[in-house]
């Protein structure tokens, strides 16, 4: 594993010494008193670098650090414009998120013990939830801000861990995290996944691959609610699976008994397999544009001895249009598309795309049909999404009743002070 940050004078980044003070503009501290962890560059008045030699403020006093700096990856204190302590975090001059705050306690050092404790608390939370449910199960053990570890994802797949740092703060402390994870969980192997878009925004590069131990010799199989799935730790989407949908797979299945089901955007078959095995659906057509995903989905069906799912490679939009034009009917439709909105500025385009696929799905359903409709775009709020469904109801002249409003599984908690983590919506609806 190599970490490249191109910092000319990189400080001893992973240590706990406070190396700077970030002074906020007047009246900009409120979100942080409410414990939001992201200090954006626009909120900062001044950055004072503490000179480690002098043990006091050095020659950069008053300098506004706007780009790659000696502080990157180092601990800084954030204060109000009047000098009151706000929080302590890690600086990154390359990112719009200039500081990620990890504590709001003045006496709390960001030392090894602190990070270890945060990992332990996150893992204990999952244990208390009974997750993973079995030795061959999978669960998210660390979910970034939700676990007070902004910029770190850790997923467990049976005996293996997948680690994904999404912030420089955590990328520069990776060895320490890995060391403690091996001690706490004794995994067979740890794989590093890098989200190149996020890494670019944070100004670091990590080489994906095996970080520790070994990769499974045979294809890895995990189980979820008694259904078995192949997992590609290195090449699969996300970190291998959509763990956030785990409980929605099972819950949706409860509504599908005896029905002819369409699973659009099926990936490796999460909703389709649950519909067949847990829900006793009559038959399922499952569609995804990724050939690789469909091949794995077919292998998953064989692995579980399922024979009533027909898998197809195809575009979601075109397939839906084709099915509607061909006068096809399904008694239930699942829509779980990829993220349509990359930010609030893309909201209108995203809502139009959601409207389009949901409208077509409704047209495929007879009265009494079930629509399971999801959105993983964080910038689309649940209210936006319901308003979109109201538009679909108006346009199609059909009633849509929400039977269940759901989010991600509980191993993806939402910290009330950072709603950016609340991205997944899953509505189970009855269409009249």
The site for ligand SAH (CB under 6 A) is made up of 237, 242, 245, 265-267, 270-271, 288-290, 293, 315-316, 336-338
- Residue 14 or 293: the one with the smaller Cβ distance to ligand SAH is 293
Taking each helix axis from N to C end, the angle separating 316-325 and 347-364, rounded to the nearest 10 degrees, works out to 30
> How would DSSP label each residue in 251-264?
HHHTT-TT-EEEEE
Nearer to ligand SAH, 39 or 320 (CB): 320
Q: Which one, 111 or 234, has the nearer CB to ligand SAH?
A: 234
Smallest separation, CB 421 to ligand SAH (Å): 18
Taken as a whole, the chain contains a residue count of 432
Q: Could you give the dihedral angle defined by the CA atoms of residues 21, 24, 26 and 31, in that order, rounded to the nearest 10 degrees?
A: -130
Q: Which long-range contacts (CB under 8 A, 24 or more apart) does 148-151 make?
A: 148/102, 148/118, 148/121, 148/122, 148/415, 149/102, 149/115, 149/118, 149/119, 149/122, 150/37, 150/38, 150/100, 150/101, 150/102, 151/100, 151/202
Minimum CB–partner distance for residue 238 and ligand SAH (Å):
8
The Cα–Cα gap between 198 and 22 comes to: 24
Long-range CB pairs of 34-38 (<8 Å, 24+ gap) are 34/417, 35/101, 35/104, 35/417, 35/418, 36/101, 36/417, 36/418, 37/89, 37/100, 37/101, 37/102, 37/145, 37/150, 37/417, 37/418, 38/97, 38/99, 38/100, 38/101, 38/150, 38/418, 38/420
Of 170, 266, 374, 376, which one is the catalytic site residue?
A: 376
In the complex, what is the shortest distance from the CB of residue 262 to ligand SAH, in angstroms, rounded to a whole number? 12
Cβ closest to ligand SAH, residue 337 vs residue 378: 337
Q: Is 151 helix (H, G, I), strand (E, B) or coil?
A: coil
CA–CA gap between residue 77 and residue 56 (Å, rounded): 14
Quote the least distance from Cβ 281 to ligand SAH, whole Å: 15
The nearer residue to ligand SAH, 20 or 269, going by C-beta atoms, is: 269
Least distance in angstroms from the C-beta of 279 to ligand SAH: 14
Q: CA 267 to CA 20: how far, in whole Å?
A: 46
Least spacing, CB of residue 319 vs ligand SAH, in Å: 7
11/269 with CB nearer ligand SAH: 269
> Active-site residue 376, yes or no?
yes
Active site residues: 376
């Amino acid at each position: 594993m190599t970490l490249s940050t191109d910092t000319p004078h990189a400080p001893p980044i992973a240590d706990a010494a406070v190396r700077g003070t970030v002074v906020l503009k007047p009246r900009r501290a409120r979100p942080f008193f409410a414990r939001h962890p992201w200090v954006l560059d626009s909120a900062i008045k001044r950055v004072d670098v503490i000179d480690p030699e002098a043990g006091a403020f050095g020659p950069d006093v008053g300098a506004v650090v706007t780009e790659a700096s000696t502080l990157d990856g180092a601990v800084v204190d954030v204060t109000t414009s009047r000098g009151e302590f706000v929080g302590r975090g890690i600086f990154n001059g390359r990112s719009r998120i200039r500081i990620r705050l990890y504590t709001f306690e003045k006496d709390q050092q960001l030392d090894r013990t602190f990070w270890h404790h945060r990992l332990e608390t996150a893992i204990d939370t999952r244990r208390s939830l009974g997750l993973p449910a079995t030795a061959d199960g999978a669960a998210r053990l660390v979910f970034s801000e939700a676990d007070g570890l902004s910029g770190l994802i850790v997923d467990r797949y049976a005996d293996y861990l997948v680690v994904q740092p999404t912030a420089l703060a955590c990328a520069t402390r990776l060895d320490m995290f890995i060391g403690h994870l091996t001690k706490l969980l004794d995994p067979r192997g740890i794989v590093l996944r890098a989200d190149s878009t996020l890494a670019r925004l944070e100004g670091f590069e990590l080489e994906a691959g095996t970080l520790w131990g070994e990769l499974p010799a045979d294809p890895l199989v995990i189980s979820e609610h008694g259904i078995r799935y192949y997992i590609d730790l290195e090449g699969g989407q996300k970190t291998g699976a959509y763990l956030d949908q785990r409980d929605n797979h099972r819950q949706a299945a409860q509504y599908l008994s005896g029905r002819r089901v369409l699973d659009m955007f099926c990936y490796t078959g999460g909703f389709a397999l649950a519909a067949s095995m847990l829900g006793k659906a009559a038959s399922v057509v499952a569609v995804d544009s990724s050939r690789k995903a469909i091949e794995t989905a077919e292998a998953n069906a064989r692995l579980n001895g399922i024979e009533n799912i027909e898998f197809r490679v195809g575009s979601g939009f075109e397939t839906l249009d084709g099915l509607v034009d061909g006068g096809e009917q399904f008694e239930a439709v699942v829509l779980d598309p990829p993220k349509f909105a990359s930010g609030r500025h893309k909201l209108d385009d995203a809502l139009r795309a959601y409207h389009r696929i949901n409208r077509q799905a409704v047209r495929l359903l007879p009265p009494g049909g079930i629509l399971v409709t999801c959105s993983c775009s964080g910038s689309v709020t649940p209210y936006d999404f319901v308003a979109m469904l109201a538009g679909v109801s108006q346009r199609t002249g059909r009633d849509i009743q929400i039977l269940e409003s759901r989010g991600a599984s509980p191993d993806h908690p939402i910290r009330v002070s950072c709603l950016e983590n609340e991205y997944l919506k899953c509505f189970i609806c009855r269409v009249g």
